[in-house]
Structure formats: C-alpha cells, structure tokens
Amino acid sequence: MANINPFDIVKQQIDNCAGILNLDHDVTMMLKTPMRELHVSLPVRMEDGSVKVFQGFRVQYNDARGITKGGIRFHPDETIDTVRALAAWMTWKCSLLDLPLGGAKGGVICNPKEMSIGELERLSRAYVRSVFQFIGPEKDVPAPDVYTTPQIMAWMMDEYSVIAGKPQFGVITGKPLTIGGSPGRGDATARGGMYAIREAAQALGIDLSKATIAVHGYGNAGYHAARLCHEIFGAKTVAVCDSKGGVCCKTGIDPEAAFACKSKTSSVCNLPSMERISKEELLALDVDILIPAAIENVITDKNAPDIKAKIVAELANGPTTPEADDILFRKGVHVIPDFLCNAGGVTVSYFEMVQNFYMYSWEEAEVRERLDKKMTTAYHSVLETSRAHQINMRQAAYVLAVERVVEAMKLRGWV
C-alpha cells in the first residue's frame, strides 16, 4: 500500500469526474495542476547543540473560490505528492461545503515523537519564517493536521505576528480558545462525520442505537468518533486499532478507556480483556459502520472484497483507492467520501476565521448548529446527485465540488 501515490489517485479521480461533466482538456489539466507550491529548508537547533535541516512544503492548489485553507502535517513519511493530494482534496472539500475558500496543505518531514518541546517550537517558528510571504489572513490560512496541535498553531501564529509587527490571530485556525480559537473545533472533524453518518443511516434504514462500529485509527478523529457514536447515537464500538495493531470486543469497547490506554501505553493494543486483532482484520469485521480514521490507501482492491460494513465513513483523507471504490459500489457498500465525511474540521476552521475577522466569539451550541446544517445540506446534495446519475458517492461529491470550482474559474476568465 505504501507505493500508491496519492496524487496519482487525485488525477485519476479528476479524469473520472471530467468524463462525467464533459470538461474540456485544458480545464481538466488546470484542475490536475497545483497553482503554486513552495519547498523550504528549515535549519533547527537541536537539544544536543547540532543543527538539523528539515524539509517543508506548502501547496496552494486552487484559489478560484477564495483564499486558500488547509492544515500542516508533521510526519516522518511526508512527501510533496501527499501534500499535493491533500491540497487538492481540500479544494474539493471547501467547494462541496460551499465555503468561500480554496484548498491548500503544508507539511514538514520530521518525527515529532522523537523531538523535544523546544525542538518542536523552533521547527514551527522556522516553518512560518520560511513561508511568511505566502500565507496570511487574506492569502492562505493554515491549520493543524497529523501530529500538529493547538500549541503548535499558537507558536506559528505568534511567529507570524512577530514578523508582521502586530497581532495576527486570523493567520492560523485550530488555535487555543484564549487566543482566538473557536468553541467546538476540538472534535469538529468527528462531529461533522457523525452528522453525515446520521443522515446516511436514515437513508439506508439503519437503527444507529443498535449499530456496531469499527474504528481504524485511534488518533484525535478516531477517538472522538467512537466517543460521539456512543454519546449521540448509543452505538457500540466493537473494534479499534492504531499503528501497532488492534483489539476487538463484541460487548463493546469504552472509548474513554481506549483513549486512556493509548495515552498511557502508546497503543490501544494494551487494553485488558480484549481479543487482539490486526489492522487488516479490523477492516473485514462484520459491523454496521467502518470508520477509517488514520491514513491514505488502507482500503484497496486487495481487501475491498472483504469489507462487510454497510457504511464506510471516511474520516481519514484518501483511505480508499479508486479500484476499491468500484468494488464497494458494486457490493452495495455506502461510502461517505472523505472530503464530505471529514469536512467538519475545515468548516469549523472557516467559522473560526469568520469569528477572528469580526472579533466576536460564538457559543459552542451555535457552532454545532451551523456545522450540522452545512454537513446535512452537503450530504443530501451528494446523495441526490449519486442517485440521479447512478454514480457512487465519491463521484457525486466530485461532480458537485469540481463543477463549482470550474464555474468560478470561468467567471474569473481563467478558462
């Protein structure tokens, strides 16, 4: 799975969508090409006194619909093609949710688990110094992603403010509440996914109070998904996994106990009185809802035939390959595609931008209400398009999102 290039998948998905929309070749090529990207070298003083040079990226994929928006990843296996793919998906995600934003993404090749707090701060500030001229509240607004936190966002915001010579809280989202963060941002990705799952279950006639859940990836999104499935629906999480493996329990797994175990021992595998299973075995469990919440390309043409879940709710970015999509569609598995299912994060980040712009904070209940409305509207638009054109949910989401981007490009005279 590691040799699958995510940006090749993006281009394949765009070609598929272009065929459905009958797009001109020139328009399709523009959609398959990032508008601009920046590669930077980041020298950082380490705790032992040495200087280590890290490689970083920022890709602004398309800004036809507005300033760009997208997270920053700190990951040892980061690649420019992964960042390109994520920036493209962010473009479609913002368009699908009808946000006045384009898509971007950033990344640094590093292993935060092996770095001290001081090293992480120096790396975060070095990244902002290198991309300062390319980001800003009216240009490109970063946010947290894999292995980046509200604290890291705070350092980045502060560094930008120091260089700008004035407080610039709006340059970053996903910040702590005391410095311009939005209520409801912490679990927004998972909560948005819950709204989509609720609508899908209603459309398919699934009683969520009796549903079984398997969560592939128990980071921030995976933990909140398991927690919210129980709190909102009364559903039962029967399996969870992380990078080291997984556990299964037919009577249900306490999401808080699993989170505590992972925090204390670095893996859910150490949960007591559980059946140990592999990450691959979790994907094939006979559950109502499978939630991929980890990394790209975990569901492929090799394991898609084994998927038994009725709903696959993609909280991760790009967890399903195009070949697997075709297999799941033929099997009748209802896939809630990533840039719909996990759009709660960028939607609440957009709400944070709005609050920063006019210096007024909303109550958390209002944030959730607005998020629910956005997610519900987007889900039903995709479902209706899927049924009208007899295409799968990802193709339908692409059709809606790309059509809006192309319309903006034409109105601006780009094509």
Which of these is catalytic: 105, 236, 310, 374?
Answer: 105
Domain ranges of the chain: 34-179, 188-341
CATH number of 34-179: 3.40.50.10860
Closest CA to 36 of 7, 60, 70: 60
C-alpha 120/C-alpha 129 separation (Å) is 14
Does 105 participate in catalysis according to the annotation?
Answer: yes
Which overall architecture, per CATH, does domain 188-341 show? 3-Layer(aba) Sandwich (3.40)
Q: How far is CA 215 from CA 77, 161, 194, 291, in A?
A: 23, 39, 13, 5
C-alpha 200/C-alpha 203 separation (Å) is 5
Do the first three CATH levels of 34-179 and 188-341 match, i.e. the same topology? Answer: yes
Residues 6+ apart with CB under 8 A from 239: 214, 215, 246, 247, 248, 249, 253, 277, 282, 285, 287
User: What pLDDT is recorded for position 397?
Assistant: 95
User: What pLDDT is recorded for position 210?
Assistant: 95
User: What pLDDT is recorded for position 1?
Assistant: 43
User: What pLDDT is recorded for position 295?
Assistant: 77
Which parts of the chain sit beneath pLDDT 70? Answer: 1-3
Q: What is the pLDDT of residues 389-411, one digit of tens each?
A: 899 999 999 999 999 999 999 99
User: What pLDDT is recorded for position 317?
Assistant: 85
